[in-house]
Amino acid sequence: MPSTYLSRTPSSAGTTTKATISFWTKLAGVSTNRHFISQKGSPTDSIDEIKISNSDVIRIENYNGSGSDYSLITSQVLRDTNAFYHIVIVFDSTQATSSDRIKLYINGEQVTSFSTETYPSLNHNFYWNTTNAIGIGADIRTPTNYFDGSMAHFHFIDGTAYDADTFGETDATTGIWKPKTAPSVTYGTNGFFLKFENSGSMGTDSSGNANNFTVNGTLTQTVDTPSNVFATLNPLNYNSQPILYKNGNTVGYSSVATWSTAFSTLAVSSGKYYFEAKSSTNNGFVGICKADETYPAQTAGIYLGNASLGTASWGYYAQNGNYVHNGSFIAYGNSWTNNEIIGCALDLDNNKLYFAKNGTWQNSGDPTSGATGTGAISITDPASTEYGFYLPAFSHQDGSGTGTFKCNFGNGYFGTTAVSSAQSPSDGIGIFEYEVPSGYKALCTKSINAQEYS
């Protein structure tokens, strides 16, 4: 998240001609400069760095105080903010062929197309593995260009060049590239392995080298992992006005004095799901929207339930407790205000929708009532005979630029604040503030797979 990074200053130098870096990352936001890892050089403004730029391309390059010794800039852009990418960079300046001196792999495939492609000289000494400060999640010189997203299984190898298949493999059943949780590697003097598994000490090195990092700022542990991806908000899909995001796309805000609507990254068509949200103002909606109706030319002033958004969106309105559908405000429950928690139970097996305010189901609703739908909102779409896929969604209006809305799809946080009661669905996947109705799941890939494809 912004202003948060890891740092370490090695006490001794390692091998400066060979290094391998491997990590999994889930991006947050687009079109900003974000550093994955960097290490200072000499003079003090020099650096080796790996980052994703404001053009959403990976840049592997350095600055030596007066120019650059190498620069690789991908032609491929990375704009998927839902999935985890596996990124491996191999540095080996002892190779006779210049293009073998730096290799980049994304999800197990070597990248060979670059818009800029300048390799280091033979036996070039990188700043990697020197005694200068190294940082993860920021340009270590300032620091600046903080990384706001998720990282998992961060390996740094001192002195050995490994390919991507050392750290990942293709799942024989799904064909999906997945992590090797215990790769057979030699870490070398300055090598480290950050699992981020100790919430009280997120910079702990698990390589056996005790090359631990200092945590600067507030680093939040998440259950969102490469093997089970949780929904977040989608910066590429917005209605009306662009929304700004932080905390790994779980918090959104807008500085314009009109309605803005944000949508989740994961859509569902069957099964039962639960999520929570809260706003720092009393002018918002929580609800759902059919996935194919989320992008109507970005017309200004559209909120959940507005007829301009289509006939398949429903929103629970803070100011009067009505639910809104197809432009109609319909009496439903109690109004809600800033920082109250709204729970949403979505039953797509029976096409019912329920809302709770601070744990109390509105309209005497019972999400476990099935086809009976006690106190439920029916989510039939009058414009279509197909139910299709639905996205959790949030509408918000705050011209001050200080108001936010925060969602919890099961990560157990509202922004950086952990839930206090830690309730979980019956399958044990996900963490929520209030009790999850029986049979309802968190919005994540494991729970979706279990319900959509069982």
Q: What is the pLDDT of residue 318?
A: 94
Q: Which CATH architecture has domain 5-216?
A: Sandwich (2.60)
- CA 226, CA 107: separation in Å to the nearest integer? 11
Cα radius of gyration (the chain): 24
Q: What is the pLDDT of residue 306?
A: 86
Residues 6+ apart with CB under 8 A from 115: 57, 73, 74, 75
pLDDT in tens, 251-272: 887 766 677 888 899 999 999 9
Q: Which two tokens stand for residue 307?
A: 């007829």
Please state, rounded to an integer, the average pLDDT across all residues of the chain: 91
- CA 198, CA 221: separation in Å to the nearest integer? 8
Judge whether residue 391 has pLDDT over 70.
yes
Q: What is the pLDDT of residue 399?
A: 63
pLDDT in tens, 197-216: 988 899 999 999 999 999 99
Q: What is the pLDDT of residue 402?
A: 65
- CA 22, CA 284: separation in Å to the nearest integer? 41
CA 413 to each of CA 133, 218, 286: distance values in angstroms, whole numbers, following the listed order: 31, 13, 17
Q: Which two tokens stand for residue 262?
A: 């944000």
pLDDT in tens, 183-200: 999 999 999 999 999 888
CATH 2.60.120.200 region(s) of the chain?
5-216
**Mean pLDDT of the region 127-147:** 96
Q: Which residue has the higher pLDDT, 250 or 153?
A: 153
CATH assignment of 233-452? 2.60.120.920
Q: Which residue has the higher pLDDT, 443 or 395?
A: 443
Residue 31 three-state SS: coil
Q: What is the pLDDT of residue 300?
A: 59
Q: What is the pLDDT of residue 406?
A: 92
CATH 2.60.120.920 region(s) of the chain?
233-452
In sequence order, the β-bridge partners of residue 393 are 263, 287
Query: At 219, is the pLDDT very low, low, confident or very high (cuts 50, 70, 90)?
Result: confident
Judge whether residue 249 has pLDDT over 90.
no
| Angle 234-377-423 from CA coordinates, rounded to 5° | 60
Task: Give the best-scoring range by mean pLDDT among 290-294, 315-319, 383-387, 423-427.
Answer: 315-319
Q: What is the pLDDT of residue 1?
A: 46
Q: Which residue has the higher pLDDT, 85 or 310?
A: 85
Q: What is the pLDDT of residue 296?
A: 47
Query: At 386, is the pLDDT very low, low, confident or very high (cuts 50, 70, 90)?
Result: low
Residue 348 three-state SS: coil
> Are 226 and 86 spatial neighbours (Cβ–Cβ below 8 Å)?
yes
Q: What is the pLDDT of residue 385?
A: 47
Query: What percent of the chain has a predicted confidence (pLDDT) above 90?
Result: 71
- The sheet with strand 109-110 has its strands ordered as 109-110, 102-106, 85-92, 18-26, 150-158, 192-194
pLDDT in tens, 394-437: 988 776 666 788 999 999 999 888 899 889 898 999 999 999 99
pLDDT in tens, 140-184: 999 999 998 899 999 999 999 999 999 999 998 888 999 999 999
Judge whether residue 322 has pLDDT over 60.
yes
Range name among 63-72, 157-166, 217-226 with the lowest pLDDT average: 217-226
